[in-house]
Amino acid sequence: LYTMQKRKRVLVKFSGEALSGNNGFGIDTSILKFIADEIKSLVVQGIEVGIVIGGGNIIRGVSAAKDGIIKRTSGDYMGMLSTVINSIAMQEALEHVGMEVRVQSAIKMEAICETFIVRRAQRHLEKSRIVIFAAGTGNPFFTTDTAATLRAIEIGADMIIKATKVDGVYDRDPNKFLDAQKLHELTYERAMDDNIKVMDDTSIALAKDNNLPIVVCNMFEKGNLLKIIEGNLENCSIVR
């Protein structure tokens, strides 16, 4: 028997909105390409990468159900389907830059992608394939942040990285308050604070119970993801 050094494994979460670029809707392929290159830079360093993408650029359950015509549960299924659309797009962009990718959906969609099976996902990761987890948790009333946290724990990721438009967590909304202070490190309890809201409470509680560190960073800063995984936490915030 021989022992192999354990490789780093991360789960990166992107919001759907990020994919739409300046359009506010749909998918901007130049952003897909940018993300694909960032993810590739991790894989070539031997890091195992799982991805979850939101669906907010297409449909969010709460907004779809706003006027009562569409039921919340149906709106949520529509939202989950949006994440599948985004995942297929991301798969294409990653293949375009030479990566091996599998999409695994929480809801069975045989003709489009694999179904989520944790052991199979593990196997793909071990073979340096990127796994994109689509359709959220497969249940209404949850978010893709919760899905990302859940999948991160299931695959035994070292951390979940929430890639956003801001470079970390602030004590209040940095877009509204000029004197907002960046918090480099915070506890799970603090992360649930109303002014901070790193993720929804369900996600944070799940991360806390399983000691999963949550990193929040700016996705548009080239090279940032790799730096963070290599231990340079200057340009992000960490919840642990």
User: By the criterion CB under 6 A, which residues form the site for ligand UDP?
Assistant: 15-17, 54-56, 60-61, 75-76, 79-80, 82-83, 136-137, 139-140, 142-144, 147
The residue number whose beta carbon is nearest to ligand UDP equals 54
Bridge partners of residue 14, in order along the sequence: 53, 163
* Alpha carbons 117 and 204: distance in angstroms, whole number: 24
Closest CB 234 distance from ligand UDP, rounded Å? 25
Query: Min. distance of Cβ 235 from ligand UDP in angstroms?
Result: 21
CB of 176 to ligand UDP, least distance (A): 20
Cα separation, 34 vs 220, in Å, equals: 8
- Nearest to ligand UDP of 138, 227 (CB atom): 138
Spell out the SS3 assignment of 108-164: CCCCCCEECCHHHHHHHHHCCCEEEEECCCCCCCCCHHHHHHHHHHHCCCCEEEEEE
**Residue (147 or 219) nearer to ligand UDP, CB:** 147
Nearer to ligand UDP, 115 or 139 (CB): 139
Spatial neighbors of 238 by CB under 8 A, at least 6 apart, are 184, 185, 186, 213, 214, 215, 216
CB of 46 to ligand UDP, least distance (A): 28
> In terms of CB distance, is 38 or 76 closer to ligand UDP?
76
